[in-house]
Structure 1
Amino acid sequence: TCPQCGGKAQAAAPLKWSPEDHRANIRRQLNNVESPEWSQTIPTLPSLEEMRSGAGEQEEE
Structure 2
Amino acid sequence: MDRIKFVHLAEIKQEEIIALMNDAQIGKQMPLLAGGFSAESCRAFLKAKKQLWDQYGYGP
- In our comparison, the structure showing a higher alpha carbon Rg is 1
Give the structure-2-normalised TM-score.
0.27
Asked which structure has the greater RCO (Cα within 8 Å, sep 6+), the reply is 1
Q: Which has the higher helix share?
A: 2
